[in-house]
Each structure stands twice: as C-alpha cells, then as structure tokens.
Amino acid sequence: MTVTAILSALAEEQQGFVDLLEDARCVRRAGREFWIGRLHGQDVVLALSRYGKVAASTTATTLIESFGVDRIVFTGVAGGIGAGVKVGDVVVADGYVQHDMDASPLFPRFEVPLYGQARFDCHPELTSNLLVAAQGFIAQSYAQASAVSDESGVVVHRGLIASGDLFVGSAEKASDLQQALLGAGHVPLAVEMEGAAVAQVCHDYGLPFAAVRTISDRADDQAHVDFMQFVQEVASRYAHGIIRELLELLPK
C-alpha cells in the first residue's frame, strides 16, 4: 500500500496524530522520532519537521531514504501576506519559493542555483485532493458552528507560499518581502519557514508533495502574539480535521 508521510511543523499537531495512530511504532533516526502506523485507514509515517529549512530538509530526506514513503503531506501555520488572506483562513500551496534565496548577480534573485527555477510546484492531483479536504473540513466545522453563530467567513485559498529562515514579525518586513517577490513575478499568499525546502527535496526525489497551512498571523508587529495563541487554540484542530478528510478521500 502507498505510504503517506504526514509532516507536521508543530509538536502540538504531531501529538494529536500520534494519539490516533493504530499499530503505532516509534523509530528514532537523525535525532528525530518517526511514528509508523495506520491513520484513518492509510499507512502513514508521522514526523515533525522542526523549524527552518535545513531541519525540514533533514526530516524529509530521512522520511524518503529510511522509511520509503511514497508521498509527503505537510501541515502547519503561516503568516498571511496576500491581500484578503486573514487569520483563520487556510492556504493550500500550489507552489513554493524561498524568499531568502539570493545568489545575485550570479543568478536571478530567488532562483535556486543549478535548478534554473525559483518556484517548485506541488503535486497537482494530491493538491486538488488536499483542497477538497480543506474545503470539506471548513464547511463541516461551520455547519456545526452555525447553530451557535452565523459567522464563518473562513476562506480556503490555493496559491504560492514563500519560505525562509525568518519569522516575519513586522509589517515593514512583510511589505518588503512581498514587493520583492511581486517584482520577480511571484505572488505569495503566505510566509512560513519550511515548506519550500521540503518541496525542493521532493522535487529531487520525484515524490508527490502537497502542503496546507492555517493562517496564524498577518506577519506584522502583532504576529508573535497571534502565533502563540493560534497554535494552542486552533492550528492542531484544523490540521487533524483536514488530514482526516484527505486520508479518507485518497484511494486505499
């Protein structure tokens, strides 16, 4: 059976998945814990990316080389920088760039040297399934909540995410990054610190990759406060709901 890696950016998310894992077995590699088992009828390996591009690359490479996973699905939170991308929304990535990649003047800004590209696309079919899963989860959550309140307003976006080894915590920095990316023809919806690295590793190995991020903050001066609160209160619930929908959708 196809083995799906569920890669979490946050320990809180991973713990929830581990709690639900059947026939669970933990293996230590590269100073990390990998959890093997079955989740919602699928064979899975659960792993924590840790923070930043290098740590995430180690985790992704170990998932592929040591555990033979067939595809990687990444969950986590991100700072919204696109117009209309607000806290509580969900972004399903259709591609990634590294906003801190700059080997100019040798290569154009953002281009990854020797790849001839800045953008790494996510797997179209897996991404479409993830989008359907995210929309399904949000619709269900708000159908339940609407008994109490009419407010939903949560939007599931699909688009580009930019990653870099930087927590974007000022409106000025967010605007600088956005302008630079737009100037190079990239329209980012959100920023985080790992996804582009995993997209590049999956590109190297020819492995399907998809990612979903819940927006925890607007990458502005308030970002660190919003981030902590959001991680504790909302992010894991979203990640679990969306991954449950996805695993039930994928062929067994």
DSSP character string of 168-190: ---HHHHHHHHHHHHHTT--EEE
Q: Token pair of 69, please? A: 């996973």
- CA dist 174 and 223 (Å) reads 11
Stretch of 116-124, 125-133, 161-169, 198-206 lying at the interface with ligand ADE (CB under 6 A): 161-169
Q: Pattern of binders to ligand ADE over 113-152, x per CB under 6 A?
A: ----------------------------------------
- CB-wise, 34 or 167, nearer to ligand ADE? 167
DSSP character string of 54-110: HHHHHHHHHHHHTT--SEEEEEEEEEE-STT--TT-EEEEEEEEETT---TTTS-TT
Cβ at position 55, least distance to ligand ADE in Å: 13
Identify residues 163-202 at the interface with ligand ADE (CB under 6 A): 167-169, 191-193
89 counts as binding ligand ADE under rule CB under 6 A: no
216 counts as binding ligand ADE under rule CB under 6 A: yes
- CA dist 102 and 110 (Å) reads 5
Instruction: Figure out which of the listed residues 6, 47, 77, 91 binds ligand ADE, where binding follows CB under 6 A.
Output: 77
- CA dist 154 and 139 (Å) reads 9
Q: Token pair of 57, please? A: 């690359």
- CB-wise, 209 or 227, nearer to ligand ADE? 227
Cβ at position 77, least distance to ligand ADE in Å: 5
Cβ at position 230, least distance to ligand ADE in Å: 8
Between helix 236-249 and helix 124-145 the angle, nearest 10°, is 120
217 counts as binding ligand ADE under rule CB under 6 A: yes
Catalytic residue set: 13, 217
**Which residues lie near ligand ADE (CB under 6 A)?**
77-79, 167-169, 191-193, 216-217, 219, 223, 227
